Chains A and B, each alone.
Chain A
Amino acid sequence: MRSLLLRALIEGPAVIDRPEPDSASVSELARALADRFRQRLGRSLAIREVDAGSCNGCELEIHALNNPVYDVERFGIKFVASPRHADVLLVTGPVTWNMRQALERTYAATPEPKWVVAAGDCAKNCGVFAGSYACVGPVSAVLPVDLHIPGCPPEPLDILKGLLALIEASSA
């Protein structure tokens, strides 16, 4: 263990620099947040992730945000265990009928003000699963979505840029 810690000292940090917020996201958010709850987040985001039926590819990349390379906590972004503690629901997957109620309840349990970010192509338009008897539709068919982050799956950097845009827009 000591050698691991020692090596960490010698090698220096693994983190990347802060990326620029995604500009397309900024404009989508500017619209979404125009009159809503500006300056409420204090430049931090508590995120509750909800898998509404994804293939788990999106989860892998969301997980990666916490690794030492992206280390999102340094930007005030934190994943929380309960929707009661969350500002943002980060939702993935086409919403399956079997998950619909759980998603709605999670949203209801999240205190105002709250934002919904739909991550991945599936969350945006059901991706390859469009047209299935088992899927309700994209996240926007069930909840009001403030920001879409496309990609299959979106890379951690894309997700990070989107979330940073959310912080910028809401504290502008």
Chain B
Amino acid sequence: MMAAPAIEIAELAGGKTAGLDGFHRIKVKERTWHELAAGCAAGHQDLGGMWFDSGAIQMLLFSEQQKMRAIVALAARSGVYPSVGCYHAPAIRLERALRDIHGTDPQGLPDARAWLDHGVWPSAAPSQKSGKRPARNYEFLSAEGNGLHQIPVGPVHAGIIEPGHFRFTANGETIVRLEERLGYAHKGIEALCKGADIDRAARLAARISGDSTVAYSFAFARAIEAALGWPVPRRAEFLRGIMAELERLANHINDVGAICNDASVVVLHARCAHLREQILQVSKSCFGHRLMMDCIVPGGVSCDLAPEGRGAIEQLLKHCAKQFEAVVHVYEEAPSLQDRTVTTGIVRPALAAQFAAGGYVGRASGRKFDTRAIFPYAPYGLLKFDMAGRSEGDVDARLMVRVDEVRSSIDLIRQMLELLERGPIRGPAPALKAGEGAAMIEGFRGDIFIRLRLDKHGRLAHFHARDPSWFQWPMLEAAIEGNIVADFPLCNKSFNCSYSGHDM
């Protein structure tokens, strides 16, 4: 590690007012960049994403204690800049990905390997001007010792799952190292957004990770609204919240069932899958699409909730609450289940804090962060809920955090239905103009971050989305170490990281 004094973003942003979207914007010189990176390593602030725009390398830094978020930019015309990853490991994959896509050159980055570019694209990514391409063969990290063997898995997995490669090194049944290789689902979404109008970019953003389509549309809409000063009517804010909580409910319930399935209690899986189906059917009847894709749009929402819809949701919540508690009851009373989940796949709190692991992965390991509570956005400022949390960091803790979140989502939707008043569902579109906006939204998996910039015609000049999985995938590698190979599916399910959201 290089030596630089560690500084806090609060020292730079203190006293200044943040933008309308709640983010400070700070231009720094190289020395301060080093110091901020060292500050991340020292735990003064969290790293929330990195991107390259307008000849500057930029990063999101935030601090939950100071309740402060800042976008820090360092001019780097040629793409050469001091690596953050050489101070702060969570930046390493971000910087490898940026190098593949933009040809940036992070000085001192400890890993020379490509990340998203597997060397098979017919041409380099459009924003990567250097023309340098990685070799096709990828060198996995080595593990040496007597009796070690490797188990390569993927990118095509045994179940109905997204593509990714896992390289296990095992000693008998015990995993000594897991190395992930991702990027298989890379679709070049950032490049597709470049030059796109707002409607098209919204459709792309909604398809970054299908299970979080509501959360992504929500984040995209808020970033656009910040860039253009687009007002959102109160009713639309509550409808957004209701959709976001329905999405969380469907995913959490489904995954609780899937974890139990991997521990061989199939009946709970069937129960949960049925509940999820019912949530999707109500979502469709209320909002016209089972996953509520494209239902949140800049300025508001695209479909209103009819009075019958409200009744259907109330009914659904009643049913879910009852059925889900029955599932939880079985889980808590079944020693054979606990035997599999308790002490399996532990993420240490220090590691979760270092990586700013979001969602249930962080909250199960003592990280008290939920965007809805720490950086509340409409409508959550008007709602009451308790942040879920555990500190054990094992599969059981991640599952129990989700259980608590199912309960709080049900309550949140009830609060929102109560507060829902009549009115328009979309604000009048403002004149198109150049601007910049950012947003952070708590999806079911964790905090989703979007940053974008519009040109004077209102087309996207830059788009960047950072899935929570970026800071959760590395936790999985750490969590599985020392566990048996047979526990990997269970452990993996308890994370349920997104491949597509990560690969983009």
Contacts and interface: CB of A to CB of B under 8 A. Distances in A.
Contact of B326 (A3, A59, A106, A131): A3
Contacts of B17: none
Contacts of A62: 160
B101 to A, nearest CB: 10
Interface stretch (B38-46, B69-77, B116-124, B306-314): B116-124
Nearest to B274: A68
B500 A54 contact: yes
Interface stretch (A17-25, A31-39, A92-100, A140-148): A92-100
Interface in B88-127: 116, 118, 120-126
Interface string B472-504: 000000000000000000000000001110010
A99 B327 CA distance: 38
A55 B187 CA distance: 9
A59 B203 contact: no
Contacts of B124: 133
A130 to B, nearest CB: 9
A58 B162 CA distance: 10
Interface string B183-197: 111111101100000
A55 to B, nearest CB: 4
B126 A133 contact: yes
B159 A81 contact: yes
B192 A64 contact: no
A152 B209 CA distance: 13
Contact of B184 (A3, A56, A98, A128): A98
Interface stretch (B234-242, B265-273, B447-455): B265-273
A106 B154 CA distance: 11
A133 B293 CA distance: 25
A109 B186 CA distance: 24
A154 to B, nearest CB: 10
A96 B204 contact: no
A4 B273 contact: no
Interface string A1-28: 1011101000000100000000000000
A100 B119 CA distance: 12
Given A1-B330, A4-B271, A67-B270, A55 B500 contact: yes
Contact of B186 (A51, A69, A96): A96
Q: How large is the interface on B (under 10, 10 to 19, 20 to 34, 35 or more residues)?
A: 35 or more
Contacts, number: 158
Most buried by B among A94, A101, A127, A133: A133
A152 B289 CA distance: 10
Contacts of B159: 49, 79, 81
B210 A4 contact: no
A58 B210 contact: yes
Interface residues of A, number: 52
Given A56-B499, A57-B210, A127-B207, A51 B290 contact: no
Interface string B5-16: 000000000000
A31 B168 CA distance: 45
A132 B207 contact: no
B436 interface: no
A135 interface: yes
Contacts of B204: 128-129
B161 A101 contact: no
A135 B187 contact: yes
A5 B267 contact: yes
Interface string B312-335: 000000000000001100100110
B156 interface: yes
Most buried by A among B123, B124, B267: B267
A57 B213 contact: yes
A67 B273 contact: yes
A171 interface: no
A83 B158 CA distance: 9
Interface string A92-127: 011011111111001000000000000000000001
Contact of B185 (A63, A99, A133): A99
B330 to A, nearest CB: 5
Interface in B195-254: 200, 203-204, 207-211, 213
A153 interface: yes
Contacts of A153: 210, 291
Contacts of B186: 53, 96, 98, 134
Given A3-B326, A97-B120, A101-B120, A135 B188 contact: yes
19 contacts: A4-B326, A14-B274, A49-B160, A53-B163, A54-B162, A55-B500, A56-B210, A59-B210, A61-B290, A69-B274, A79-B159, A98-B503, A101-B120, A102-B156, A128-B207, A132-B192, A133-B124, A152-B207, A155-B290
9 closest A-B pairs by CB: A57-B210, A134-B188, A81-B158, A67-B273, A132-B188, A55-B210, A55-B207, A56-B210, A49-B160
Given A79-B159, A98-B503, 13 more contacts: A4-B326, A4-B327, A4-B330, A56-B499, A59-B162, A59-B210, A60-B210, A98-B185, A129-B189, A133-B122, A134-B121, A134-B188, A153-B291
Interface of A: 1, 3-5, 7, 14, 49-64, 66-69, 79, 81-83, 93-94, 96-103, 106, 127-129, 131-135, 152-153, 155
